[in-house]
Amino acid sequence: MQVLRGAAEPISGEKLAVHLALSRAAVWKRINRLKAQGYAIEGSPRRGYRLLTIPDKLLPEEVLQGLKARRLMGPMHHYETLDSTNDLAKELGSRGAPEGTVVVAETQTRGRGRLGREWESPPGVGLYVSVVLRPMLPPMELPQITLTTAVAVVRAVRRVTGLAPGIKWPNDLILSGKKLGGILTEMESESDRIRYLVVGLGLNVNNPEFPPGLKDLATSLALEAGRPFSRVNLLQAWLEEFEGLYERFLHQGFPEILEAWKRHTVTLGKKVTVRQGPREIQGQAEDVAPDGALLIRVANGEVLRVTSGEITPGPAEDPGA
Ligand code: BTN
């Protein structure tokens, strides 16, 4: 693949065979496999093979190409369709997959969001990716990793698109007041140690539209910018940014990352309602504690710690008041 990618002129089957130390028949098979993956390769019996176009897919060959990451560098598993990349990553994690294992799908049939919601995952337009991590940390540090992942998404999106999403606590990505992406962190732990955790990112990249029920709630990078973006570049940027922040978190702790999270958040300083199942808390989102919990000042002046739940703006001001 590399050799075809770099070549201005067609390369003969014979040359490819020598270069790859394969038989001519094996070269032909490999070319056919690449074509089946969506690479457009022109082959003429006299001149040889020429790469015309690369498919708009999150193929490992493309993502790993030029990826500046060490820890989050695969093994990378790519699927056309999966139920949920988090489900497969958890299965791989439970079978001992190493830290940095990445699972990517072009579409998910049962993509999952936080709080048991569904994650709309139409084919070929979004990022649906899960990473297996094995930090030597106690389970109570999970919320901090969760916030860290969101900072990495903001940085990656900025780097690739110039757009600047905000973060809604804990890790929803928001653009123009609508949801751009979200992160589902799941872990398997013993009482004092995380065995493995899976960080799953869903990012609306090139979605041209959303179904009626989501139209007013969701947006994509392409809708905001008026042009499409490379999902490969976005995935590479997220893996790189996340690796940098994750290593900083492991070695230097959370304070600096929390400051970065606070610079990007759209939640603090606002009146909010937190829904936790049947329970509802209303108040002012004042701060985030060093462990990642949201601190809400309620009507009686007390400050409550919130570690889970769905935040919505409001309660709406009473216009007559
Ligand atoms: C949320 O905002 O509720 C979190 C959404 C997380 C969706 C991603 S898509 C990739 C990974 N696989 C899943 O099933 N969910 C996460």
Provide the pLDDT for residue 37: 87
Provide the pLDDT for residue 320: 47
Q: Which atom of ligand 1 is nearest to the CA of 182?
A: 2
Task: State in Å: Cα 262 to ligand 1 middle.
Answer: 22
Domain ranges of the chain: 2-53, 60-264, 271-313
Residue indicated by tokens 């959303």: 210
What would the CATH number be for the domain defined by 271-313? 2.30.30.100
Provide the pLDDT for residue 314: 78
Helical spans, DSSP H, in the chain: 2-6, 13-20, 24-37, 60-64, 85-94, 142-161, 221-225, 231-252, 255-264
pLDDT one-digit tens code per residue, 177-235: 999 999 999 999 998 999 999 999 999 999 999 999 899 999 999 999 999 999 999 99
170 Cβ inside 6 Å of ligand 1: no
261 Cβ inside 6 Å of ligand 1: no
Burial of 269 (0-12, 13-18, 19+ CB in 10 A): exposed
Domain 2-53 has CATH 1.10.10.10: yes
238 Cβ inside 6 Å of ligand 1: no
Segments of the chain scoring below 70 in pLDDT = 316-321
Provide the pLDDT for residue 158: 98
Q: What whole-number percentage of the chain has pLDDT above 90?
A: 78
pLDDT one-digit tens code per residue, 43-69: 888 889 999 998 889 999 899 988 998
Domain 60-264 has CATH 3.30.930.10: yes
